[in-house]
Amino acid sequence: MELDLRKRLKFIALLLMTVYLAQAQAADETETPAGADDNETVAEENSPIMLREQGNVEGYVALTVSEQSIDATYMPDSLGKSAGKVLILHGRGQDIDSDGIVRTLRTGLSKAGWSTMTVALHYELTPNLYLAPSNSEKTTDTDAANTSSDDSDDAEQPAAAETETATEQSEEPTEAAADDAENQTAEGDGEQSDTENTPYIVSNEARIAAAMSYLAEKQDGPTAIIGFGEAANLANESFSMASGEVGIVWINTDIELTEPPKVKVILDLIAERPLQTDIKAVQRKANMRKANVNNYEQRKIITISPSFYGAEANVLGIVRGWLHKHFIAEDDA
């Protein structure tokens, strides 16, 4: 009797648990998520989602170049005594307001009397990929070695087989030509659609020209162009767009000059890391001495990173002092 009572109690408990779980599942399906907004869109499972981080960039401006909007920043001098304007060209992996040296220079120089500007530049991707040879390439030698044996086997075929092969080959060109025509048509349509869908990329020269024009409208005086890494070449090519006296600052670049740009002064900042020597920087300085270039100056900053992380204040101090020496102190004298 006691055993039957236990079985009945277990059955009732199991039944109650089943009912409870069914009610909980139904409530989860019909309940609206807490804090959900009526206008919020809920993405379906396995659907692609793009996450966009928004933030406010101090001094942000949008330049219209070739009917496209290009990101840029402009900060007027906050000293009250304008000295000139500085265009900062970021390098690969940086942007118009990168943490570190870019932001330090554009904000710090504006406090020293220089109107600063940055513009978004486009750099082509250069992936370092090394493809292994395919199986077909690996078996090329084997196929070439077996060609002679295949030819000998074909020569031993009966004359009737040769006649049949010739008949089949006469039919194959027509089919192959039709297939080639269809493939070429499909490829042509694909290339045309890819060309139509590919967005037009504004050249860096056009972006820099637009930034120079914007700076000239906002600020008078001399112009300094700062180029990081690869952007040093852009600085050398675009200095003629500026009006008045021009100075160029190269920051951690590996350019090899055959002839220095014809500007008033050049500053070459090098990130000197322990136990490492920048051979190109040493050679560049030697070439400048051999060419008797008196407006060239090279400065080294000891750091553990090519991006000058931790040494941003030193870079700002050197650039600010160099600008004051060549563009402000001379005018005051």
Q: How confident is the model at residue 325 (pLDDT cuts 50, 70, 90)?
A: very high
For the segment 58-65, the average pLDDT, to the nearest whole number, is 94
Domain boundary among 166, 183, 200: 200
More confident site: 117 or 257: 117
Three-point CA angle 118, 251, 200, nearest 5°: 45
Q: How confident is the model at residue 138 (pLDDT cuts 50, 70, 90)?
A: low
The whole-number pLDDT of residue 49 equals: 38
What share of the chain has pLDDT > 90, as a percent? 47
Same domain (yes/no): 235, 317: yes
Q: Is residue 49 part of a domain?
A: no
- Mean pLDDT score of the chain, rounded to an integer? 78
The whole-number pLDDT of residue 37 equals: 45
Q: Is residue 71 part of a domain?
A: yes
Q: How confident is the model at residue 15 (pLDDT cuts 50, 70, 90)?
A: confident
Same domain (yes/no): 230, 309: yes
More confident site: 252 or 186: 252
Residue 64 φ then ψ, to 5°: -95, 115
Same domain (yes/no): 223, 318: yes
The whole-number pLDDT of residue 134 equals: 59
Same domain (yes/no): 217, 259: yes
Domain boundary among 135, 170, 200: 200
For the segment 76-87, the average pLDDT, to the nearest whole number, is 92
Residue 33's alpha-carbon distances to 51, 279, 332, in angstroms, are 21, 62, 68
More confident site: 257 or 315: 315
Q: Is 37 helix (H, G, I), strand (E, B) or coil?
A: coil
Q: Residue 191 above 60 pLDDT?
A: no
Same domain (yes/no): 321, 225: yes
Q: How many CB atoms lie within 10 A of CB 250?
A: 26
Domain that holds residue 175: 157-200
Q: Residue 137 above 70 pLDDT?
A: no
More confident site: 170 or 134: 134
Same domain (yes/no): 249, 270: yes
Same domain (yes/no): 254, 293: yes
Same domain (yes/no): 322, 220: yes
**pTM for this predicted structure:** 0.66
More confident site: 130 or 232: 232
DSSP for 56-118 reads PPTTEEEEEETTEEEEEEEE--SSSS--EEEEEE--TT--TT-TTHHHHHHHHHHHTTEEEEE
For the segment 270-279, the average pLDDT, to the nearest whole number, is 88
Same domain (yes/no): 191, 231: no
Domain total for the chain?
Answer: 2
Domain boundary among 200, 217, 251: 200
The whole-number pLDDT of residue 50 equals: 35
Residue spans of alpha helices (H) in the chain: 2-30, 101-111, 135-138, 140-155, 159-197, 204-218, 231-238, 279-290, 312-323, 329-332
The whole-number pLDDT of residue 31 equals: 47
Q: Is residue 36 part of a domain?
A: no
Low-confidence winner among 63-77, 128-142, 310-324 (lowest mean pLDDT): 128-142
Residue 36 φ then ψ, to 5°: -75, 145
Q: Is residue 18 part of a domain?
A: no
Three-point CA angle 317, 319, 324, nearest 5°: 95
Same domain (yes/no): 115, 217: yes
Same domain (yes/no): 196, 213: no
Per-residue model confidence as pLDDT tens digits over 232-272: 999 999 999 998 899 999 999 988 877 888 999 999 999 99
- With tokens 């907004």, the residue in question is 37
Per-residue model confidence as pLDDT tens digits over 158-185: 444 454 554 455 555 555 555 665 666 6
- With tokens 């906002």, the residue in question is 218
Q: Is residue 41 part of a domain?
A: no
Q: Is residue 13 part of a domain?
A: no
Same domain (yes/no): 283, 254: yes
Q: Is 1 helix (H, G, I), strand (E, B) or coil?
A: coil
Q: Is residue 302 part of a domain?
A: yes
Per-residue model confidence as pLDDT tens digits over 281-311: 999 999 999 989 999 999 999 988 888 988 9
Q: Is residue 19 part of a domain?
A: no
User: What is the C-alpha to C-alpha distance for residues 49 and 43, in angstroms, rounded to an integer?
Assistant: 7
**Domain harbouring 81, CATH code:** 3.40.50.1820
